[in-house]
Amino acid sequence: MDTLKFTVLPGDGIGPEVMETALNVLNHVAQKHQFTLQYEQCYVGGAAIDRHGMALPTATLEACRHSDAILFGSVGGPKWENLPPEEQPERASLLPMRKAFSLFANIRPGLLYPELADASPLKATRIPQGIDMVCVRELTGGIYFGQPKETTTLDNGEKRAVDSMVYHTSEIERIADVAIETARGRGKKICSVDKANVLATSVLWRETVIKYLSEKAPDIKLSHLYVDNAAMQLAGNPGQFDVILTENMFGDILSDLMASICGSLGMLASASLGADKNSHGLPFGLYEPAGGTAPDIAGQGVANPCAQILSAALMLRHSFGKSQAANEIEHAVRQTVSTGTRTQDIAFDTKSVSTQQMAQAILSHLE
């Protein structure tokens, strides 16, 4: 029997609540599709700071190293906000994890089912077909990691801080590859987003993308937008997008905008794929919901479990090649929200259900 070995990092806030439902769903499909789950739960983020004094303990990192994927909840919260920035859960766990596992490709599907159109802040007339796009964001380069990155005090006592935006051709090509593969599985359109009217890295980005796609993917329809225009287009006419391909910081900002127009953050999953292959010959990856720890509702049992469950589906597809099981989970989630079983964030005028009830409904649609 096929064994799926992964590390479970529930983290903080609503992380543990929604993680439990995702594990139930995984166990359900594992039984049906005859594969075995082998997972170890470890502490990360604020929970790890409280217990081990650091956001990414060595034991957690080691467990991840011995797995084929990571199912991540979310980290951070008001309790740790007064720590120095570099010790805070997000910075001290997520960023080092991305670097340690070369998680260079962040895939965020922006999906708004037409039946959930009233969850979007956009007028329904702007999104007649709902939204169905994917943001492919470079995740280990650019201004997040470029050197030098420092704050110094000048002779006159003034402080000076520097972040460096750096890209190499090879980094651009490998993320372009992920976008190509993603687009081939969908509408075969890529919109590459840069700021080539200002930034040197963006000039290289655009040049490289044009050359690479003309050689490797003449079947893909390629277009380009400056990032400011891309933001405007996303807010005005998101239906034009299939796959957006962009660098680290632009992707951070645009994917939040995409999340917002798709309605609830509680529905958005993400995959961060590594450069290395796992023991299944597929990318090692970290899978996490986009919504964060939601401290305001943590512990109340009302968080939307969908993003975590959909992240588990992405893990099955990308790191374990279980596309059929992943499709079934995605279908069950859609069935559930379409038939009106909804947590408070997407309930509107209808009565809302608890995390557990929503998860139960998803399980029953999997039957």
Judged by CB under 6 A, the chain residues 247 through 286 that form the site for ligand IPM are 252
* Of the residues 40, 163, 173, 252, which one makes contact with Mn ion according to CB under 5 A: 252
Counting contacts by CB under 6 A, is residue 134 touching ligand IPM? no
By CB under 6 A, which span of 89-97, 180-188, 212-220, 309-317 interacts with ligand IPM?
89-97
Query: How far apart (Å, rounded) are the C-alpha atoms in residues 70 and 174?
Result: 21
Q: Give the residues across from 47 on adjacent strands.
A: none
Site string for Mn ion, 206-245 (x = CB under 5 A): ----------------------------------------
Give the tokens for residue 74: 């979310």
Q: How many CB atoms lie within 10 A of CB 64?
A: 23
Reply yes or no on whether 32 is catalytic: no
Q: Which does 94 bind (CB under 5 to 8 A by kind): Mn ion, ligand IPM, none?
A: ligand IPM
Determine which one of 43, 144, 167, 287 is catalytic.
Answer: 144
If you search the block for the tokens 């420092």, which residue do you land on? 150
The dihedral over CA atoms of 14, 16, 22, 27, expressed in degrees to the nearest 10, equals -160
- To the nearest whole angstrom, how small is the minimum distance from the Cβ of residue 31 to ligand IPM? 32
Counting contacts by CB under 6 A, is residue 177 touching ligand IPM? no
Q: Give the total of residues touching Mn ion (CB under 5 A).
A: 1
Query: How far apart (Å, rounded) are the C-alpha atoms in residues 262 and 254?
Result: 12
Indicate the residue whose CB is closest to ligand IPM. 90
Residues 322, 280: contact at Cβ < 8 Å? no
Reply yes or no on whether 252 is catalytic: yes
Determine which one of 43, 68, 194, 195 is catalytic.
Answer: 195
Site string for ligand IPM, 93-112 (x = CB under 6 A): -xx-----------------
Determine which one of 2, 219, 228, 276 is catalytic.
Answer: 228
Query: How far apart (Å, rounded) are the C-alpha atoms in residues 332 and 153?
Result: 56
- To the nearest whole angstrom, how small is the minimum distance from the Cβ of residue 38 to Mn ion? 31
Q: Which does 359 bind (CB under 5 to 8 A by kind): Mn ion, ligand IPM, none?
A: none
Reply yes or no on whether 195 is catalytic: yes
Give the tokens for residue 116: 């959930």
By CB under 5 A, which span of 72-80, 105-113, 252-260, 281-289 interacts with Mn ion?
252-260
Q: Which is nearer to ligand IPM, 8 or 94 (CB)?
A: 94
Long-range contacts of 339-347 (CB under 8 A, 24+ apart): 343/266, 343/302, 343/303, 343/304, 343/305, 344/302, 345/264, 345/265, 345/266, 345/304, 346/116, 346/119, 346/263, 346/264, 346/266, 346/267, 346/304
Give the tokens for residue 339: 């038939």
Q: Which does 244 bind (CB under 5 to 8 A by kind): ligand IPM, Mn ion, none?
A: none
Residues 137, 248: contact at Cβ < 8 Å? yes
Q: Which amino acid is at 351?
A: K
Q: Which is nearer to ligand IPM, 138 or 328 (CB)?
A: 138
- To the nearest whole angstrom, how small is the minimum distance from the Cβ of residue 105 to ligand IPM? 13
- To the nearest whole angstrom, how small is the minimum distance from the Cβ of residue 91 to Mn ion? 12
Query: How far apart (Å, rounded) are the C-alpha atoms in residues 72 and 91?
Result: 15
H-assigned helices in 195-226: 200-216
Q: Are strands 243-246 and 69-74 parallel, antiparallel or unpaired?
A: unpaired
Active site residues: 144, 195, 228, 252, 256
Binding site for ligand IPM (CB under 6 A): 90, 94-95, 252
